[in-house]
Chain A
Amino acid sequence: MADSECPDCAGHISPRPGIESGEVISCPDCGAKLEVKSVSPFVLEKAPEVQEDWGE
């Protein structure tokens, strides 16, 4: 899998083994919360903000 770029700071991010699409990871450079939109190719987007109706 190729690396991807943080959409916020353009930092270089490598997918860790076992990562799933839909997971949220933190950019190691700027700390931005990023959603894995696709594993292969490795595509990242800014993660959605927690919404008022989220919960358990």
Chain B
Amino acid sequence: MRVALLYTLITPENKLLLGAARAKGVELEKVQDDSLEMELTHSGRQFDGVLQRSSSYARTLYSSFYLEQMGTFVCNPYKAHHLCGDKFLASILLAKNKIPTPKTYGAFSADAARAAAAKLSFPVVMKPVFGSWARMVHRLNDADSLSNELESREEMGHAFQKVYYLQEHINKPGRDLRVFVIGQQAIAGIYRNSTAKSGWITNTGRGGTASNCPITPETNELAVRAANVFGEGIYGVDMMERADGSLVVHEVNHTTEFRNSIAPSGVDIPAKMIDYFISKVKQ
């Protein structure tokens, strides 16, 4: 069995995964994505399984597709990266599969975006369709803020920055949930708490803090159902609590980070990821 970790850099997560694999006697070969030479017109399998941990979304998409077509088991699969990584597509699929999710509009022009915001009513949340770590995720409190945001986006060159994604603002109680799903089970969860540094955003990379979120039958059921929309694998399912306590899923992360979640949850997340990955490669 030949298995590899595909990465851009050895982040703390990737180092933990390598360590977990070694502790289990698994030789996980390190493959840096910028070293890949992919002969697209040749079919041949080099690895039985690849744990996809590239930091780059573009590289993740192309390498996952390439490797899968060559017959390699890729975790997560291409489909998961393609659909989770595009918020426009993910929202459609979550709603279609009856996963409670914030009301969301897509639009291709500033005028259509303004009309969508009027239907949602302010404040609204505007996000880039591609993006992570809460980059360019903005809460827009009024029509002026929206116009400023739209003008900035219209001036940007990238076509995908002119695909507008506007979402209902959930007045969450200063926190949201990150639930880790592996296969058909939610194995751990954290609350991501907003702080003075992070503002209304809860991302731990932006100054939010993590605390344990015990997995209840309700969070397990919802997180697993949300993950299954994108195909079985390893996910970080982000949820928010409405004022009545009900949960909505606003994002499903396909290459989930977990460095800040091991200590508060008390769960050895990388060990469970390696167990799952290896079991799937062997199937």
Q: Which residues of A contact B (CB under 8 A)?
A: 20-24, 35-36, 47-48, 51-56
Contact = CB atoms under 8 A, between A and B. Distances in A.
B130 A53 contact: yes
A29 to B, nearest CB: 22
Which of the listed residues B10, B14, B58 has the most CB atoms from chain A within 10 Å of its own CB? Answer: B10
A31 B133 CA distance: 23
Contact of B257 (A20, A51, A56): A56
Nearest to A53: B57
5 contacts: A20-B30, A48-B8, A55-B57, A55-B133, A56-B254
Interface of B: 7-10, 14-15, 18, 30, 32, 55-58, 130-133, 135, 236, 253-257
Contact of B10 (A21, A53, A54): A21
B18 A54 contact: no
A51 B130 CA distance: 12
Contacts of A23: 9-10, 15
A36 B7 CA distance: 14
Contacts, number: 51
A56 B30 contact: no
Contacts of B14: 22
A9 to B, nearest CB: 21
Which 6 residue pairs of A and B lie closest in terms of their CB atoms, listed nearest first?
A: A55-B132, A22-B10, A53-B57, A23-B10, A54-B55, A56-B257
Contacts of A24: 9-10
A24 B8 CA distance: 11
B246 to A, nearest CB: 25
A47 B32 CA distance: 14
Contacts of A47: 9
A47 B130 CA distance: 24
Given A22-B7, A48-B8, A55-B131, 18 more contacts: A20-B10, A20-B18, A22-B9, A22-B30, A23-B15, A35-B9, A52-B131, A52-B135, A53-B130, A54-B8, A54-B55, A54-B56, A54-B57, A55-B55, A55-B57, A55-B133, A55-B135, A55-B255
Contact of B32 (A22, A51, A54): A22
B227 to A, nearest CB: 14
Given A20-B15, A23-B9, A53 B32 contact: no
Contacts of B57: 53-55
A51 B56 CA distance: 8
Contacts of A56: 132-133, 236, 253-257
A48 B256 CA distance: 21
